[in-house]
Chain A
Amino acid sequence: MIFSIIAAIMTVFPFVWSAILATHDRSTIFGGGIPLYIGDHLGANYDKLMEMLPFWRAMANSFFIAIMGTSVSLLFCSLGGYAFGVYEFKGKNALFSFMLATMMIPPVVGLIPFYLIVKMLGLLDTLTSVWLPFTATPFGIFLVRQYVVSSIPKELLEAAKLDGAGEFRTYWSVVLPLLKPSLATLGIVQFVFFWNNFLTPLIALNSQEKYVVTLALRSIQNNPNAPWGAVMLGTTIAILPLLVFYMFASKRIIAGLTSGAVKT
């Protein structure tokens, strides 16, 4: 019991520590000893952080790609999952197996040509290049399909047809509202992915005003004169949105991110 609690404290401690350091100046951080109290240099660190790079711009970019990426993912994956779940069509099984097989390929394998195609499409150094390509994921389509198969009764679809609803309308007005639980799960997975993504922005974004927050953090580390209080403030701010979200919905988030493991 005590061991479990100590482990939990040790797990959370680095976050608390970074928030504490964000309030101290150089002399306290480098002066020896462990300042386990809140200092009074938060304002100064904030100013320094803003001086180093357009930090809020990076936060806004991250929000933009996370929100665009997540909402478009919900649309594309629900369409795809619905198609695999309710229709019989030529090549369905082959396509489905193929889609699942591609999940096994490490992303780094296609990274270099990914860069090339992004460049050819004129998307290099645009935020589109870091969200659009990842909106129709095999995992998302698979997740929605499983839900459609297990929870959407065929009779409902037939009833919609009898009432004269077309194919798209059946999806949009009848099925989509019922998909909420699986879309909530998918939304969490995608939001966390987009917010934390580093590899794609690292290769696709160059200019500082396009930086997302992970790139911004990495770039201030390279600044040899980076004041640690300011760096830790940046880290804390970068973690905060997910942290707040987590505090309200930790159960859902945990269930969402482990859903691949637990059969439903």
Chain B
Amino acid sequence: MELSKDEPTPKRGFFRLSRKAAPYLFLAPYLLLFLVFGLFPLLFSIYLSFHSWNPVEGLEAMEYVGFENFKTALTDPWMWTALKNTVFMGLYAGLSQHLIAIPAACVLVSFGGRIRHVLTSAYFLPYITSGIAVSLIFFQMYAPQSGIINQTLLLLADSKWAGWAFTWVHDAMPIRWLEDVALIQPSISFVVFWKFTGFNIVLYSTGLMTIPKDLYEAARIDGAGAFKRFWHISLPLLRPFIFFAVTLTLIGQLQLFEEPYVLTRGLGGPSQSGLTITAYLMRIGWEWYEMGTASALAWLLFLLISVLTALQFIFFGKKGLRNDH
């Protein structure tokens, strides 16, 4: 149907939507998909968390158990191990990410456009690549015999100029990055750190570039050094960005799954010290078929994320958002 000014267009056609119906029709795909794949799973997951159910036995086998699943989840020592692991890896990877990203962003914005663009692209690269693929690469790099990390350490230990610092490296006893209880969490955290620091650097550098230049100029005239300018201007004005970035890290870290899953070959690592909450949830649900307990654990995880995000908002966000205005 071609529209032209000479020809009067019919006011009512078969495909003419009324103004009232139009928004609902336009939102129909969202509403439909949300009802089926969003709301139903959520409500059913609540229902499921109060039932004991092995999916293999069919829907009839569902049995109401009240808060039993929550009790099971909360008294399960493995759940606490998984929680502890998740929190520790979150702290290692999360804290180091932000502690490095803020100064790195300050340095980055001091560069000219072209260098800055090249460096930004490099830092950001791990963020867009698949967690599975990069974890596989690190899995190889961490290999005790052939991995490049141990090979480099050996090379350094054998070298004349640096050997004195690497006498702890033994040819016969390679470091087992992913099989040693003491090393597995730092090893996993490093991959997560490597993957997400660049994203934060970009966020912070965007934030820094919104700060007016005359503020720094004025401070310089008043005799403030580089550190003072960072402490009294950059850091406070970055606050809303820090709030946002830390919230994202918090939510992401508590749901950590892919990196530990690949690095421990889905087995949880030595003494299960690489087992995260999400990985444990998957195990309860898809290996042990205890869908009720898995659902309860999922809601407990949701509760934890909500509480921590709320706390982060109360202590950190509010003031930061006020500074923004």
A positions within 8 Å CB-CB of B: 1, 3-5, 7-9, 11-12, 14-15, 17-18, 21, 29-30, 32-34, 75-77, 79-80, 82-84, 87, 89, 92, 95, 99, 102, 104-114, 116-117, 121, 132-133, 135-136, 141, 163-169, 171, 192, 195-196, 198-199, 202-203, 213-214, 217-218, 221-222, 228, 231-232, 235, 238-239, 242-243, 246, 250-251, 253-254, 257-258, 261-262
Are A167 and B22 in contact, with the CB atoms below 8 A? yes
Are A253 and B133 in contact, with the CB atoms below 8 A? no
C-alpha gap A214/B213 in the complex (Å) = 45
Are A29 and B22 in contact, with the CB atoms below 8 A? no
Are B241 and A261 in contact, with the CB atoms below 8 A? yes
Are A196 and B127 in contact, with the CB atoms below 8 A? no
A-B contact count (CB 8 A): 259
Are B126 and A11 in contact, with the CB atoms below 8 A? yes
Are B265 and A221 in contact, with the CB atoms below 8 A? yes
C-alpha gap A107/B309 in the complex (Å) = 16
Whole-angstrom distance from the CB of A249 to the nearest CB of chain B?
A: 10
Whole-angstrom distance from the CB of A113 to the nearest CB of chain B?
A: 4
C-alpha gap A114/B295 in the complex (Å) = 12
C-alpha gap A239/B248 in the complex (Å) = 24
Are A235 and B30 in contact, with the CB atoms below 8 A? no
Are B198 and A87 in contact, with the CB atoms below 8 A? no
A sample of 8 inter-chain contacts (CB < 8 A) reads: A7-B123, A12-B125, A17-B137, A34-B152, A83-B23, A108-B255, A133-B36, A239-B129
In terms of DSSP, what is the predominant structure of the interface of chain A?
A: helix
Are A114 and B37 in contact, with the CB atoms below 8 A? yes
* A106 with B198, Cβ < 8 A, contacts A79-B27, A231-B136 known: no
Are A11 and B40 in contact, with the CB atoms below 8 A? no
Are A258 and B202 in contact, with the CB atoms below 8 A? yes
**The one of A7, A166, A218, A261 that contacts B132, using a Cβ cutoff of 8 Å:** A218
B193-227 interface (Cβ within 8 A of A): 194, 198-199, 202-203, 206
Are A17 and B148 in contact, with the CB atoms below 8 A? yes
Q: A87-B23, A109-B301, A232-B136 are in contact. List 9 more A-B contacts (CB 8 A).
A: A8-B118, A11-B125, A14-B126, A79-B29, A113-B45, A199-B257, A221-B262, A231-B136, A250-B120
Most buried by A among B44, B55, B122, B265: B122
